[in-house]
Chains A and B, each alone.
Chain A
Amino acid sequence: MNCNYAQSRISAYVDGELAGGEMLNVRAHLAVCENCKAGYENCLKLKRAVSSMPDHSPSPEFQHRLVNAIRRAAPSAESEGPIWPTWRMAVAFAAAAVAAFAVLYFRSGSVPESAVPSAGDEIALDQDWNTAAGAFPANTLPAGLEGN
């Protein structure tokens, strides 16, 4: 093993990241080469210097600001609870109303007054079946859900 070979591996040697054979070769070289041994000691001290850098605490109010920033930045996630079920319930109600209307219509051949639910009325009359089954325009989705 020559010095160039050893020095290219000293950093990984210091980190304990050389495989067994390579590690033993480097160790054997360091035992006989003063210059490479000095390079190894420098690298070791450099690693210790970086890992000894003092741990400065964030300011006391930082976590508070952090939590607030996250809540502000992701309003859709916070409002997901109330908005999403309401939207789903509206679709489900419309679909159920249309289904009930269809069943009664085909069974009796006429439309009893009581079978037309007022809430589903507008959808059933003004929009086609696919639309009534739940395809709301994209811009009515709660902000932030489009990408998911």
Chain B
Amino acid sequence: MKSKENENLSAATSELLTSSATGSEQFEELLSRTQRQAFHLALRLTGNRPDAEDLVQESYIRAFRFFHRYDPNLPFASWLYRIMTNAHIDEMRRRGKLRTVSLDEPHPETGTTWDFPDAGASPERLLMTDQMEAEIQDGLNKMTAEFRIAVLLADLEGFSYEEIAELMRTSIGTVRSRIHRGRKQLRNHLKRVRPDKYVELDQG
């Protein structure tokens, strides 16, 4: 569904860029079409509203300064996300938080299963309480930044590994590894904070 949205946005972008609007007008139009989704990603990357607003603002300012380098054949959102993920990594470096506490210690891989409730009508989504959201966000915050970015681009934005590799300027193999290890960090965090959410297989 996200990919469909991206396609629609991409078509709208091409249409806009061939119109007679000036650079500033085009940019502000693209901003108004993308800022909500950009904020959603930024909020999950940073974990709080003020930092997310700062990240979105910094990303659009950088995008505006380099708008003359934007290739309209690429979706604007993908280009913006590349800028945003770089800005996020810069900020993490500045704060000395690029490498966070490792959550990757050995943990039994098997023998348990999740007990997240499915959202009845929509099997693709889970019912999420505020507490679950906070726990997952806490796990995301503690992840290594590159892992967090890769996981969120895949799960939140629905990008393929190839698209993520292009966006993060790395190989598909590295993306695969980052997502695998990122999910492992997140799972270990959730196992630690909410052991009650697991049902032992042999009991079920």
CB pair B180–A11 under 8 Å, yes or no, is yes
**Given A15-B161, A46-B187, A53-B128, are A66 and B113 also a contact pair (CB < 8 Å)?**
no
Q: Is A127 part of the contact surface with B, judged by Cβ < 8 Å?
A: no
Q: Which of B12-20, B36-44, B73-81 contacts A (4 or more CB under 8 A)?
A: B36-44
CB pair A50–B156 under 8 Å, yes or no, is yes
Q: Is B176 part of the contact surface with A, judged by Cβ < 8 Å?
A: yes
Q: What separation, in Å, do the CA atoms of A148 and B114 have in the docked complex?
A: 54
Q: Which of A56-64, A88-96, A128-136 contacts B (4 or more CB under 8 A)?
A: A56-64
* Per-position 1/0 for A19-53, Cβ under 8 A of B: 00000000000000011101101110111111111
Q: What separation, in Å, do the CA atoms of A47 and B109 have in the docked complex?
A: 16
Residue in contact with A38 in the complex, picked from B39, B43, B113, CB distance below 8 Å: B113
CB pair B126–A74 under 8 Å, yes or no, is no
Q: Is A73 part of the contact surface with B, judged by Cβ < 8 Å?
A: yes
Q: Is A110 part of the contact surface with B, judged by Cβ < 8 Å?
A: no
* B160–chain A nearest beta-carbon distance, Å: 7
CB pair A52–B126 under 8 Å, yes or no, is yes
Contacts of A11 in B (CB 8 A): 176, 179-180, 183
Q: Is A143 part of the contact surface with B, judged by Cβ < 8 Å?
A: no
Q: What separation, in Å, do the CA atoms of A60 and B111 have in the docked complex?
A: 47
Q: What separation, in Å, do the CA atoms of A12 and B183 have in the docked complex?
A: 11
Chain B interface size band reads 35 or more
**Given A42-B112, A42-B114, A48-B126, are A63 and B31 also a contact pair (CB < 8 Å)?**
yes
Q: Is A69 part of the contact surface with B, judged by Cβ < 8 Å?
A: yes
* A32–chain B nearest beta-carbon distance, Å: 14
Q: What separation, in Å, do the CA atoms of A66 and B28 have in the docked complex?
A: 10
CB pair A50–B53 under 8 Å, yes or no, is no
Q: Is B155 part of the contact surface with A, judged by Cβ < 8 Å?
A: yes
CB pair B136–A34 under 8 Å, yes or no, is no
Q: What separation, in Å, do the CA atoms of A39 and B112 have in the docked complex?
A: 8
Contacts of B43 in A (CB 8 A): 56
**Given A38-B111, A70-B60, are A52 and B128 also a contact pair (CB < 8 Å)?**
yes
**Given A45-B126, A74-B64, are A55 and B40 also a contact pair (CB < 8 Å)?**
yes
CB pair B126–A49 under 8 Å, yes or no, is yes
Q: Is B151 part of the contact surface with A, judged by Cβ < 8 Å?
A: yes
CB pair B60–A50 under 8 Å, yes or no, is no
Q: What separation, in Å, do the CA atoms of A78 and B24 have in the docked complex?
A: 8
Chain A residues packing against B (C-beta within 8 Å)? 3, 7-8, 11-12, 15, 17, 34-36, 38-39, 41-43, 45-59, 62-63, 65-67, 69-70, 73-74, 77-78, 148
Q: A50-B156, A67-B28 are in contact. List 13 more A-B contacts (CB 8 A).
A: A3-B110, A12-B176, A43-B183, A50-B155, A50-B186, A52-B126, A56-B43, A58-B56, A62-B39, A65-B53, A70-B31, A70-B60, A77-B23
